[in-house]
Structure 1
Amino acid sequence: MTATVGVGIPLSRICDSVSERAAALDEHRTDVQADLAQIGAAGLFDLGLGTGGLPDMVTVIDEIAAHSLAVGFSAWAHRMTLEYLRRGSHALQHNVFGQLLSGRRPGVTAMAAGLRYVAGLDDLPVKARRDADGLRLTGPIRWASNVFDDALIVLPAAGDAGETYVVAVDVAQPGVAVNPEPNLMALGATGSTSLRLTDVTVSPDRILSTDLPGFVAAVRPSFLVLQTAFCVGVTRAAVSAAEQVTGGLADEFSEQLTSIAGRSRALRDDLYARASDPYAAPVPDLIRLRLLTAQLALEATRLECTLTGGAAYALGSPANRRFREAAFLPVQSPSEGQLRWELKQYG
């Protein structure tokens, strides 16, 4: 079941706006900054922040992703930045937390390398050395989203002696070089690209944690639950559109559509049940739920295109856009390969 978002929060109006902008976002004639600002202005980013329960925030991302996965994904990345900052110093929260909470300033989660490090898959590419001012960072951020001019990035780093950090850095800081955005399929509006840090200063108040494994363990449930929300959103939209197709050869796919629709409802119900208390759920269950919902999104969008026929092959059609959006999910960090590998580690 879907949670009820608090009285007076204009989620439906935001969804209408996102829907109107979806084609322009898909064609990269605009970007998601206006959407993030609208979500923040409505007070949606603080739903469940610090309380442990996430059903209302899941609803927001689920509903928005049904109209544009690009916006749902960017909203997730922004909200996770707030989750990270909430665990930081009081000074940092006072200076920048309100700006991000209102959506006036974008938040960037560049924690993919941290998740891979904690899983035992990779070393941390950004290196940190101590100096009198705090830390100096050098190294690549191979992928991040919401990388706009005034954004704040949260990322992991490794010290020379094996110590680990989670830190916050401004995109506009000296030593931060943003590489040109690649020409992405369906997600060009999300400000997704790579960066290079060279001797970037991090003051003590911007060191969020000196225990990366502990930090990842603390944020992982909300990370996975809110990611799952945008997977179920795009799946719902594809199923709903597929169910509207009648005549012709549509009946040949009725059994497959019924199966996908049933699984979609079951996984969504499971998500909302977990969202009430994500930290009570075993991590393998959350990993499995994230994996299954991403896989189903691919299956649902493919079937929508099959039923829509030749029109789905036209760039700009909703079916075509959702198909291309969902193609991102297997590589979105944690990737399908990483999720499968992690599940095996739990036996």
Structure 2
Amino acid sequence: MDALTYWLHANAEQLDSDAGLAEDVLPMLAGAQLLRIGVPAAQGGGGGDVRDAIAAIAAVAQHSLTAAFVFWGQRTFIEYLLQSPNGALAERRLPALLEGRLAGATGLSNAMKFLSGIEQLQICATPQAQGWRLDGALQWLTNLRKAGFTAAAAVAPSDGAPPAIIAFDSDCAGVVRGADLDLIALRGSNTASVKLSAVAIGAADLIAADATTWLPAVRPSFLGMQCGMSIGLARASLAQAAAISAGSRNQLTPRIEALRQTLEEHTATLMAGVHDGRFRSKAPAMFRLRIALADVVQQALTLELQAMGGRAYLQQEQNGFARRWREAAFIPVVTPSLTQLQAALQQLEGAA
């Protein structure tokens, strides 16, 4: 067992239940070199592509969804820089992000909902001589380390220009991080809201000038790495259900194996789609896959519960079940939620 796996195994319950170890998650992920996975070697990474990042997030999620959530936030922000036309921004920011010295928050959940016609942008950008003045708020961001962070956001220019994607820092004047959200789980993920009041941003911090053309290209990576959380959690639950059912008379083994096969088929489809680029032009297929993986998670936890029976209600018999049950409740609501994805699918089908 490597150092990170041992740490996650020992601290998964605390990471879920309180914020005592929240500042340690990112350094632990960086120390295991996970943040470099899927990043080109020429840019300080370990090589590979986004499929490798998805697999790494899934592996972490098997031990702690809190840590996987932080991993997703950091690695997704890194992906934004990799796909940004602003090479100077990536060159300036990537070293600290890859080393875990700087936390990166995606901040684009609002933007992804905007892209699907679900929600308006929450930040207004007023053009100024040297850039923009930002005003607004983001209600739910993860990986907002108290030691400092940078975050991405989609902004609506007040002059009618196309929405843009910018990066802002926690130490910018006018940026206020709220208190940690009072979550029922994943409490060690540094999840909070952010308010921006007259925040000055220059062109050097522009990730993409036209969000409407840039977001569809980065969305498969955003959602693909998010799906890694579902894959890892489902695998962990199915493994526990299989171990309990082995040699028993509960007759769950065939159902467990069938669901495991379904999970791996969905995973293979996901990996192929993010690699060959089909999801860039076929967003509905990606939405349906995210919905299907969330359903697998719910089925896996139900099978684990059925395998445990009454022992699931005994503290001394948990072996992580109650934590996984709480973690599973997060999968349908993480933005974009299943309800939002289903609404987007209905809109797309209606337009077609």
Q: TM-score, normalised by structure 2?
A: 0.88
Comparing 49-58 and 96-105, the one that deviates more: 49-58
Q: Aligned runs of 1:68-217 on 2, under 5 Å?
A: 68-86=64-82, 87=84, 89-149=86-146, 150-163=148-161, 164-217=163-216
Counterpart CA distance in 1 for 2:107 and 2:116 is 16
Correspondent of 2:35 among 39, 45, 67:
45
Counterpart CA distance in 2 for 1:13 and 1:63 is 14
1:6 aligned partner: none
The Cα of 1:278 is off from its aligned counterpart by 4.8
1:295 aligned partner: 295
Sort the Cα spacing of 1:78 and 1:88 in 2 relative to 1 into closer, same or farther, 3 A.
Answer: farther
Counterpart CA distance in 1 for 2:331 and 2:262 is 18
Comparing 306-315 and 228-237, the one that deviates more: 306-315
**Do structure 1's residue 267 and structure 2's residue 266 form an aligned pair?**
yes
Give per-residue Cα distances to partners, 1:99-156, cap 9 Å, x unaligned.
0011121110110111111111221111110112311111110111011121111011
Tell me if structure 2 keeps the 8 A contact 1:15–1:63.
Answer: no
Counterpart CA distance in 1 for 2:157 and 2:348 is 29
Counterpart CA distance in 1 for 2:249 and 2:306 is 9
Tell me if structure 2 keeps the 8 A contact 1:52–1:278.
Answer: no
Tell me if structure 2 keeps the 8 A contact 1:53–1:278.
Answer: no
1:344 aligned partner: 346
The Cα of 1:32 is off from its aligned counterpart by 4.2
Residue 286 of structure 1 aligns to a residue whose secondary structure is: helix
The AA in structure 2 aligned to 1:38 is: M
Comparing 328-337 and 252-261, the one that deviates more: 252-261
Correspondent of 1:327 among 326, 329, 334:
329
The AA in structure 2 aligned to 1:324 is: R
Tell me if structure 1 keeps the 8 A contact 2:180–2:192.
Answer: yes
Tell me if structure 2 keeps the 8 A contact 1:148–1:171.
Answer: no
Tell me if structure 1 keeps the 8 A contact 2:86–2:208.
Answer: no
Counterpart CA distance in 2 for 1:48 and 1:246 is 36
Counterpart CA distance in 1 for 2:229 and 2:260 is 16
Question: Structure 1 regions of 5+ residues with no counterpart?
Answer: 1-10
Counterpart CA distance in 1 for 2:194 and 2:176 is 6
The Cα of 1:218 is off from its aligned counterpart by 1.6
The Cα of 1:338 is off from its aligned counterpart by 1.7
Sort the Cα spacing of 1:44 and 1:219 in 2 relative to 1 into closer, same or farther, 3 A.
Answer: same
Tell me if structure 1 keeps the 8 A contact 2:111–2:154.
Answer: yes
Residue 244 of structure 2 aligns to a residue whose secondary structure is: coil
Number of aligned pairs?
336
